[in-house]
Amino acid sequence: MIETMSETKTALLELNNIHSYYGNIHALKGISMQIFEGEIVTLIGSNGAGKSTTIRTISGVMHPREGTILLEGQPIQHFPAHSLVSKGISQSPEGRRIFPRLSVRDNLAMGAYKRNDRKAIRQDIDRVYGLFPRLKERAKQYGGTLSGGEQQMLAIGRALMARPRLLLLDEPSMGLAPVLVEQIFEIIVRINKEEGTTILLVEQNALMALEVARRGYVLQTGNVVLHDNADTLMHNEMVRRVYLGEE
């Protein structure tokens, strides 16, 4: 039986019976999940399972037709994306989506667009440079000239500039060489442990995701089909066969 925190404290984020659509396409079919403060929780599943749609629905990029999303018990499912940044939810999107014609430093500053504490913003840029020394080396370089790995670092760094309580990471390893994937995941763990940031990680590299996460949800065609501690999921026969590539 899965270990739960629900008896001891309120979830930082809770999804209850969420249904999301793209036009007439029913993408999320009543998913429910909880994320507690200080956790890394991962969503795994194949292409089209609904992982990125879940992230977009949480972040306010799209709104569910049914169900509730609670942030510390308060409904947020109808809030626009920009207001959720102020409430402590920040996203590093799939495909990075950095500003190619802005410098690395200016990209990071854009992540703090809702803030006006200039001294603290400068300190946070230095903090991001501490996590990603490569970005400091390229501070004046245009974002569009960076390598794929550097752009991923920049996308995560930009999301951190909002000082999120909940960081949404959508496919951070996509398109990266294995050595860079390991670096990115090491930094994800640092962000969680050193900064205390709660992380929801959407990732096709199920093995890496489950190695760093505390708990996981498995999505198939818009439904949660499994939910358990990460270690238990790693030893689940279906997960090992379908997502870890084992016979």
SS3 213: coil
The b/e string for 197-224 (b: 16+ C-beta within 10 A; e otherwise) is bbbbbbbbbbebbbebbbbbbbbeebeb
Q: Residue 114's pLDDT is what?
A: 76
Q: Residue 4's pLDDT is what?
A: 47
Is residue 22 a contact partner of residue 197, using CB atoms and an 8 Å limit?
no
Nearest to 95 by CA among 41, 36, 171: 171
Give the angle subtended at the CA of 106 by the CAs of 102 and 112, to the nearest 5°. 130
Domains of the chain in sequence order: 13-242 (3.40.50.300)
Average pLDDT for runs of 10 along the chain of length 247: 53 97 96 96 92 94 96 94 91 84 93 83 92 93 90 93 94 85 91 93 91 96 95 93 75
Q: Residue 159's pLDDT is what?
A: 94
Q: Residue 27's pLDDT is what?
A: 96
Q: Residue 246's pLDDT is what?
A: 62
Question: What is d(CA 141, CA 102) in angstroms, rounded to the nearest whole number?
Answer: 8
Q: Residue 120's pLDDT is what?
A: 87
Q: Residue 247's pLDDT is what?
A: 53
